[in-house]
Amino acid sequence: MKKGSFKKPRFLPVFTPIGAAVLLISLIILIRSLVTRNSYEIVITSFILLLLLILCIFGLWKSKKCKDLVPLWKPPYPMTAASYGGEQTMVSGLDVSVPLFFRLHFIIRGRFYPVGGGAFCAVFTETSIPRGETSVLLKLDFPVSGIFSGEGYCRLRDIFGLFSFSCGLPQQRRVNVRSSPCFGKNIYINAQAGAEDKKHKQTLNEERYYMREYTPGDRLRDINWKSSEKIDMLITRISTDNQEKVSRIEVYFRNFGSVKKLSLKTLWLLDRAKARLSYFLRTLQDQNPSYIFDVRTGSGRWEIDNSEALDNFFEELAGIGFLPPQNEQAIPVSVGELFVFSTACDKKLNGFITSCNPRPVTLFITQPEISAESRYGVASTMRSCAKDSDAKDGGVETLYLSDFLAKNCIPSPRLFKREKPKPLGAHAGRVESNFAGVKL
């Protein structure tokens, strides 16, 4: 179902578990009291049953009047995982009167696919709308990046917790959740310069020159008088040698790993690799907005030349999960440096880097958490393999399982596998590593 579409509310019992238990116990006591002729129990159980009947009648009456209610819930954009204070989702369009002893509740339930993987987490969150309010903020947050697909709907409930009535039409939403940001040192690169921007290519009618509007300071002999007369505007010839040059940065995000052995540990490695790629692209664009990024992943290819294109790429990056290892063509040989982002799950990484020779390669790799001594040994191995040793230990970023329960996410048992990803020795001209682990 498409985003924002509606469907008929599914049937849910009007009695809550507590209400069903109260009804059953009251009926049993009433029957027993009638048999034993205990007037005291008859009065109490009759009062309870009468109260249940009144609440049920009022709830059914009001829920039918609100059957066309369309609650509007708008997740924040962009939605970022593990945000400070938690992401707040605005729910509006709740302009309805509620009977005494009743409250309107808004519920969101669905499935969250961590890092775009196949296994999911069950999500359930709920809030009560204060009396007299027409909108409310609902906390909807996730510990890692990924895709959330779910629905939001209203329920009319009494303050005693006995009844819950369907109210209004549910709404479907599909939300991309971006990785929580990572931070590092300043990035300095030697971008591949001299590539022409497509915006400045000459037309088919001009082989040696391209045209632009005259600006003060241009030579008069460069004015194309014939073309200027046709459009009533001064047009200047500019030699192709003077075209603006741009800097292209080629990036490869290798989201390859075992799809059958997905676990929170491997997904966390991919999430941190996404965060590092996002930090890399955002930092360089802030340094020089004229950079053009040629980004390749196992899922496709993007050319990013402005902030809007970069933002769109981040949205798609949130849903990119692991792909099985595959035989791929090497990146074409170029004079520029190639920047590769990968994880320890990428078993064909070294073969790919070797195929890129003699092109210089800078590798950003996310490794599983290991002891400090072992971490130093891995870094030393990388330095011994690097021509320009620049292997770094970026510390350990930790994902806590308790974060899932705190954010109303119940992970699938498939994600609790005991397979431990092993550190991967990487061979590249320059290697920068960071470490990520999962704890209770």
Which pLDDT band, with edges at 50, 70 and 90, does 394 fall under?
very low
Indicate the range of 45-59, 199-213, 249-263 predicted with least confidence. Answer: 199-213
Q: What is the pLDDT of residue 242?
A: 43
| Average pLDDT of span 262-267 | 88
pLDDT of 244 higher than 60: no
pLDDT of 208 higher than 50: no
Note the pTM of the prediction, 2 decimals.
0.76
Rounded to the nearest angstrom, the gap between the alpha carbon of residue 31 and the centroid of all alpha carbons in its chain is 56
**To the nearest whole number, what is the mean pLDDT of the chain?**
80
Q: What is the pLDDT of residue 402?
A: 87
- Look at the chain and count its residues: 440
Indicate the range of 159-163, 305-309, 333-337, 372-376 predicted with least confidence. Answer: 372-376
Q: What is the pLDDT of residue 340?
A: 93
pLDDT of 312 higher than 80: yes
Q: What is the pLDDT of residue 343?
A: 93
Q: pLDDT, tens digit, for every residue of 78-128?
A: 899 987 767 788 898 888 888 888 999 999 999 999 988 778 899 999 999
Which pLDDT band, with edges at 50, 70 and 90, does 413 fall under?
confident
> Contact, 21 vs 13, CB < 8 A?
no
φ, ψ (nearest 5 deg) of residue 341: -115, 130
pLDDT of 4 higher than 70: no
First to last CA, the chain: 36
More confident residue, 238 or 76: 76
> Contact, 115 vs 145, CB < 8 A?
yes
The CATH architecture one would assign to domain 66-178 is: Sandwich (2.60)
Q: What is the pLDDT of residue 113?
A: 92
pLDDT of 307 higher than 70: yes
Composition of the chain by helix, strand, coil, percent to 5: 30, 30, 40
> Contact, 299 vs 323, CB < 8 A?
yes
| Average pLDDT of span 384-407 | 64
Q: pLDDT, tens digit, for every residue of 29-55?
A: 999 999 998 899 999 999 999 999 999
Six-digit token string for 196: 């022409």
| Average pLDDT of span 383-387 | 36
Q: What is the pLDDT of residue 185?
A: 67
Indicate the range of 149-158, 241-250, 342-351 predicted with least confidence. Answer: 241-250
Q: What is the pLDDT of residue 218?
A: 64
- What are the extents of the domains in the chain? 66-178, 198-243, 246-439
Please give the helix or strand (H or E) that residue 179 lies within, else none. none
Q: What is the pLDDT of residue 238?
A: 63
Rounded-to-10 torsion of CA 53, 55, 58, 62 = -130
Q: pLDDT, tens digit, for every residue of 5-24?
A: 444 444 456 888 999 999 99
Beta-strand (E) ranges in 179-312? 192-196, 209-213, 235-239, 245-253, 292-297, 300-304
Which pLDDT band, with edges at 50, 70 and 90, does 210 fall under?
low
Q: What is the pLDDT of residue 329?
A: 61
pLDDT of 389 higher than 60: no
Which pLDDT band, with edges at 50, 70 and 90, does 371 fall under?
low
Q: What is the pLDDT of residue 183?
A: 76
